[in-house]
Amino acid sequence: MKRVTQIFAMVLALIFMASTTSQAQSKNKVRKMEYNSQYNYEVATVAVGVDGTKLVKVWGYGPDPEEATRNAKELGIACAIFRGFPPASNGAAAKTPPIVTDSDAAEKNMAFFETFFAPGGKYLQYVNLSTDAPPSGEDRIKVNKKTYKVGVVLSIAFDELRKDLEKEGIARKLDAGF
């Protein structure tokens, strides 16, 4: 009888551990999906730049501050293309609509965007100015043991990016009508 009770207790413990592990894995999957979501942009408009540029502060994530800075540049360009920029909190700039209004544009042009956003890809030519030095102070946050969150101010060549995406046939031309 004692042996049966021990076996029963072990089986219950194994079931409990398996369910706890699967819940933790499920939470991690949800976090990864949210992190990798195309809608996960932390962007604040600082001001309208000169000659068709936008000055924005973008938060990026990475295992070290340098990788987080690279991620912020990529997210800044992606935000310009797919989501647009919010108005500046100080009133220095109005809301900027996205360059691409088609919600399926990323899927339809997947091959283009994979090469466009590849490490060292073409997206970097639209980042005119950035605070490339590893951020410090409130712009550098250690989220956990493996992740940094950094805020980087970027000057994005918005009009040039729009023109090039129109040339590629990804964005509709402004004079194309409704």
Count: domains in the chain: 2
Question: Which pLDDT score, from 0 to 100, does residue 95 have?
Answer: 87
**Is 84 in the same domain as 171?**
yes
Q: Are 68 and 62 in contact (CB under 8 A)?
A: yes
**Is 51 in the same domain as 133?**
yes
**Is 64 in the same domain as 116?**
yes
**Is 160 in the same domain as 72?**
yes
Question: Which pLDDT score, from 0 to 100, does residue 164 have?
Answer: 92
Q: Which comes out higher in pLDDT, residue 33 or 122?
A: 122
Q: Mean pLDDT, to the nearest integer, of 7-18?
A: 61
pTM reported for the whole predicted model:
0.74
Q: Which comes out higher in pLDDT, residue 177 or 158?
A: 158
**Is 47 in the same domain as 32?**
no
Cα 30 from chain centre: 16
Residue 20 belongs to domain spanning: 1-36
**Is 161 in the same domain as 140?**
yes
**Is 57 in the same domain as 79?**
yes
**Is 77 in the same domain as 164?**
yes
Question: Which pLDDT score, from 0 to 100, does residue 57 have?
Answer: 92
**Is 48 in the same domain as 99?**
yes
